[in-house]
Amino acid sequence: MAEANEPAKEAAAGADKAAVAAEVGRVSYEALKSASAMVKPGVRLIDVAEHAEGFLKQKGFGIAFPLNISVNEQAAHYTPSLGDEKLFGDKDVVKLDFGAEKDGILGDCALTIDLSGNNGKLLEAAQAALSDAIATVRAGVKVRDIGAAIAKAIEKRGLKPIRNLGGHGVGEHELHSSVFVPNYDNGDDTEITDGMTIAIEPFATDGRGMVSDGDFYEIYDYIGEFSVRSPAARKVLSEIEAKYPHDPFAVRWLAGSAQSKFGLYAAVRELLAADAIRAYPVLVELGNGLVSQFESELLVEKDGCRVLTGPA
């Protein structure tokens, strides 16, 4: 009798996960839109980050990764440092990338704000690319075909897709998993499958169409417990293990684990050197071109897809 109930149990578990994924997607987008309303010239980046992250906590959700606030030629991975006083400028092109977490299920979504009002085509290119890509998604589609739709939408507007960034599968406590979804036709015949969760994130630029690692690091994730020499670093590592064992974290989230800002950053450097944590450098467009980004997370279905993070 127990064996006969197994399919029913599996179906119920799958339905529960789907419900959580829909909930996570909805609140991820709500947090992103709430943060975007704060982005104005003269506002501190850290205030927007703390608002978005606090929004999720107030709703009873975890944070899949720190709010990314990448400006102008930055494509990804900027989040404010502890005590960061950086302000938005009146000509900034601002990318916000964010997601909620619940029971290991992660949300992921992004949008771009043009504070100058002069970069409409840049934003339109990435937004149209996302829309066109979503229209191609269904079980059995090759990732190269999704990439081709993205590139076509961007290039017809006289801009370039960023070729060494792209979308990705999303697993439990694994933001980048299973499949890479390119922003151009890269020749990859991998097919997406029914029930797979993927994030599609076109990046458009008026630069060279490639990014490289910058020299700013504020986002990390935990690799494992390694021997570190100083008591200060051990204390910081203990907090990381306790609070952020699965998903990326920001250094500023660890402020209470050290006696000073200098001590905190010294401990983080020691943990990085010991391979206890991994850094995510800010990604910068190689030609210093402006970059736009839009992203939605999707549940792949037999004949299409369900948008988990995006406008209702």
Catalytic residues: 97, 108, 168, 176, 201, 295
Other Cβ atoms less than 10 A from the Cβ of 87: the count is 14
Least Cα distance to 290 among 160, 166, 201 occurs for 160
The CA–CA distances, whole Å, from 88 to 32, 78, 80, 208, 238 equal 17, 13, 12, 25, 34
Alpha helices in 137-174 (DSSP H): 143-155
Beta bridge partner(s), residue 102: 105
8 Å CB contact between 283 and 163: no
The Cβ of residue 231 has, within 10 Å, a number of other Cβ atoms equal to 9
Torsion sign over Cα 243, 245, 246, 251? positive
What angle do helix axes 45-58 and 2-36 make, rounded to 10 degrees?
Answer: 150
Backbone φ, ψ for residue 246 (5° rounding): -115, -40
Residue owning tokens 């549940």:
299
Tell me the C-alpha distance between 283 and 75, whole Å.
Answer: 5
